[in-house]
Each structure stands twice: as C-alpha cells, then as structure tokens.
Amino acid sequence: MQDITLEAALDWRAAAAVAEGANLLLSAEASHRVETASRIVSAIVESGVRAYGINTGVGALADTVVDRPSQNRLSRNIILSHACGVGPLLDRREVRAIIAAQIANFSHGHSGVRPAIVETLQAFLREDCIPEVPSKGSAGYLIHNAHIALVLIGEGRARLKGKSFTGAEALKTLGIKPLVLQAKEGLSLVNGTACSTGLGVVALVRVERLLDWADAIVALTIEALGGQMTAFDAPVLALRKSKGIERVGKTLRERLAGSGLIEAAKGARTQDALSLRSVPHAHGAGWDVFEFAGSIVDQELASVTDNPAVSGTPEAPIVSSEAHAVAPALGQALDSLAISIAQISAMSERRIDRLVNPLVSGLPPFLAVDPGAGSGFMIAQYTAAALAAENRRLGAPASLDGGITSALQEDFLGHPTAAANKLLAVIGNAEQILGIEFAAAAQALDFKASVAPRAKGTNVLYHHIRAAVPTYADDRPLGWDLEKACELLRASPPPRI
C-alpha cells in the first residue's frame, strides 16, 4: 500500500488509507512545524507564564498552579488518570484511524509535542502496533486517546502481529524506549478530536460501500416485484434538485436496463409503493448527507483541535486557551448520517416485507419453496424488523445528550465520539438488513426465472450471491445464509455491470 505524506492537511480518504495499513509520513514543512511548536512550549515553561495544562492542572483544576519539577509528572498522571475506558476494544482500523488523526493534529504545529511523540506514533502505524483501546467512556474526546498514549509511556497493552503485549513489551519488541513526557505533552495526547474524527473516517468508508450496495440491491427487489420505471426517468427526477437523487436514479436505470421482467410488468400499476418509488429520494438523501459528513470530517482533520494552542515563536511565545477540542459540528454531522442510514435500513425492511408478503408480492408466501411445510423467509423479515427498530432507537442524536463534567468547568458536551460509535452500530445493523434483502430478492427472482430474463445489471448481482448462497429450501439454518449475504456487502463493493 502506498505511503501517505502529510503536508498541509489530511483528508478523510487519505486517513482511511492509513486505517487500512498505509504508513503516514510528514513532509519537511510539517516536521518543522512540530519542532517549532515544541520549542515554543519549552519557552513558555522557561518564562513561567501561567498556561493551561502546561503549568496548571486541567479541567476544574485549571487555576491550580503546578510547579516546574512537577510538570513532567503532570503529563504522565494525565495519561494514567484519563485512561479509564470500558467495554469491547476498538478494532485495528479504528485505532489506526485515530492515530492518523492525532498525527494530523500535531502536524499543524500548535500542540507543542516533541517530534519523538509523532515519530513513535508513526512507528505504531509502520509496525502495525495497535494499542488496546476500550470503545466506551468518552463523553467528549479524552479516553480513547489516553489509552493510545499509555503505550507510548510503556503502560497499557497493545497488539503486535496478532498477539497481545504489555505496553512495555510492545515498545521493547519495536526497539523503542518508553517516552518520558514533558510539559503539555500529556494534555496534548489526550486532547483534541482524534478519536471521534478517526472513528468518523472508518464510518465514512463503510457508509460509502453500504450506500453503493443499497442502490444495487434495491434494483433486484424492484425487478422481482415488477416495479414501474417511469418514476426513475431522468427528466422526472431532475424536477427535484439533489445530486444524490440524480445519482441513484442513474444507477437504477443502468442496473435495470434491458430487463425482461421490468418490461413484462410495464403498466401493471399506476404507481408503486413508496418503499420502491421513493428509493432515489431516501437513498439520494443518504448520498447527500454522506458528502456533507465527509466535508465536516475533512474540516476536523484540517483544524487544530488542541487546547491550549501555542503559536508565535520561541522568542515571543503565545499560548491561547480556547475550545477547539469541542466538536459540535462533527457530532451533528455523524448524527445526521446515522439518521439517514437508519431510514434507508427501515425502507429496506419494508421492501423485505413486500417480497415475502403474498398479499402484495405475487410470489409464493414467504418465498418458501414448499409453503406450509416450509416457512421460507418469514422469520428473516422478523430479524430485519428487529434490527430496523434498533436503528430507530439509535437514531436519537447523541449531540443533544448534554451532561456536566469536571465540577461545572465542562458544562457543555458535544458528544462526537458517542455519535461516531452510534453511527458504527447503525451501519452494522443496516449491513445485515440489506444482506437479508439481498438474499430475499435473489430468492424472489428464482421464482421469476421462467417469466422473462433479468437485466444484465441485476444478473451479475444474482450470480454474485448465488455463488455463496444457494436457493433456500428450509433445508438449513437460514441465519447462516443471512450472515453470508451480509459478509458479501462488507467484503467488497457490488460487482459492476
């Protein structure tokens, strides 16, 4: 995989490449910015000017002065006390994305960490040393970062070549000595929006693939149910202005071009149910929100998200207390994307119901090969309904959760990390729901095989799933098939025409 060189700013696609295994290098200019900021912090320490997190405590202890001999201990103690996450561990991609976002933040030259900090984080990426980071506990941005920082100082745990080591063992294996943190470095390592931004990067990758699959799978369903294509004509869709609607309409027309089944059903109804007819609108909204969320994540990666920010020169240092570590825009963007994906998955569940419901499908009840003796996909729709309901609950915005921490000093919380974790959960459910629709639509097309030929664009999808999942005849646990269908969505983009 090609290395990524960080010059001015990192965009989310580059950060995603790092998450997948690329190395992250710093340009000479970025390295110079890091070095200069480190010298500025040293100058602040020498001057004795009061500066948050450098020679004061943090949070509600901001006015408690820390003497110079204790400043290094303050940095170490911040890491140890803030590393209090709980729950399942983040996966490899998620931790790598967070580290990429951390390095990007430091590279702007306003954090003040030494080059050795950045170089060690780069070594973690290069050697695929993955700190063990619990997924829960961050009301804002501190806890995930602290667990990564533990390994820098020889504490915590990390996975290296698939094996779990203590932080000290991992560093020894890499030939790196545990870092002794200096003034402000502990605060900089836990500060900023690296955790929510990194998780947002991973979510964007998964959403893009999910939306691509959603547009492909629904074409199978429309074909199986004899959908009316007039609703998807380009001039008709152009009446409502949306790049997403335009994109989805084009995809549907291309996927279903030349379908004998669509031609055979032409004019059978004046209009289809909204779960079919409004696909460009709901899926298109997903694409539009995806583009917006991507721009907000890019904005985070291009921003200084540390508090305080250092600037000026070593001869004339400036330290500015601000609130750049708070990320309402990111939380709101990720919440919006979760709502959009939850809506798309709810619509998918409604289409599954139409496929299995003999009252509207014109197909054998529940797509059973032997109705009565077999239940076919009856209960698969139950599973989809349960997951869609869970996504509706998860759709409640994390950015409105509120909460007060640190003795009223932090009395507003944007919850971007919670929004990111929630979005990832919604995506996981949506992948499974769409996997169920994929399997059900293929089963429905089995019953239409003698009616008319499939479109070329849907035929390639049909054979893609049939290579992994044969026609279901109540002859095996259906859940196995649904898992296989979901894995197809997660493994690669949909096959092209």
Regions of the chain with pLDDT less than 50:
none
Inter-residue contact 307 to 58 (CB < 8 Å): no
Res 185: pLDDT: 93
Res 62: pLDDT: 57
Name the residue among 232, 252, 267 with its Cα closest to residue 455: 252
Name the residue among 272, 435, 441, 260 with its Cα closest to residue 363: 441
d(CA 413, CA 401) in angstroms, rounded, equals: 8
**Phi–psi pair at 139, nearest 5 degrees:** -75, -25
Name the residue among 125, 175, 121 with its Cα closest to residue 151: 121
Res 70: pLDDT: 62
The DSSP line for 28-58 is HHHHHHHHHHHHHHHHHHHHT---TTTSB-S
Inter-residue contact 143 to 85 (CB < 8 Å): yes
**What residues have CB less than 8 Å from 242, skipping those under 6 apart?**
281, 284, 285, 288
Dihedral angle at the C-alpha atoms of 110, 115, 116, 122, nearest 10 degrees? 90
CA distances from 444 to 168, 249, 438, 456 (A): 57, 23, 10, 17
Residue 356 token pair: 């299995």
d(CA 454, CA 263) in angstroms, rounded, equals: 10
CA distances from 327 to 132, 137, 333, 420 (A): 24, 17, 10, 12
Helix (H) or strand (E) holding 117: helix 115-127
Residue/partner pairs of 161-168 with CB below 8 Å, 24 or more apart: 161/128, 164/132, 167/131
Residues 26-62 as b/e (b if ≥16 CB within 10 A, e otherwise) read: beeebbebbebbbbbbbbbbeeeeebbbbbbbbeebe
Res 142: pLDDT: 83
Quick one: how far is CA 167 from the chain centroid? Answer: 27
Name the residue among 418, 417, 419 with its Cα closest to residue 98: 417
For 228-261, the pLDDT digits (tens) are 999 999 999 999 999 999 999 999 999 999 999 9
The identity of residue 121, as a single letter, is L
d(CA 391, CA 403) in angstroms, rounded, equals: 23
Coil vs helix vs strand at 485: helix
For 20-64, the pLDDT digits (tens) are 999 999 999 999 999 999 999 988 888 777 777 677 766 655 566
Residue 270 token pair: 């004046």
Res 322: pLDDT: 85
Helix (H) or strand (E) holding 169: helix 167-174
Q: What domains lie within the chain, and their CATH numbers?
A: 4-191 (1.10.275.10), 200-491 (1.20.200.10)
d(CA 123, CA 147) in angstroms, rounded, equals: 17
Q: What is the DSSP letter of 68?
A: G
Coil vs helix vs strand at 230: helix
By DSSP bridging, strand 317-320 and strand 309-312 are antiparallel
**Phi–psi pair at 422, nearest 5 degrees:** -65, -40
Dihedral angle at the C-alpha atoms of 273, 277, 280, 285, nearest 10 degrees? -40
Res 79: pLDDT: 94
For 162-173, the pLDDT digits (tens) are 899 999 999 999
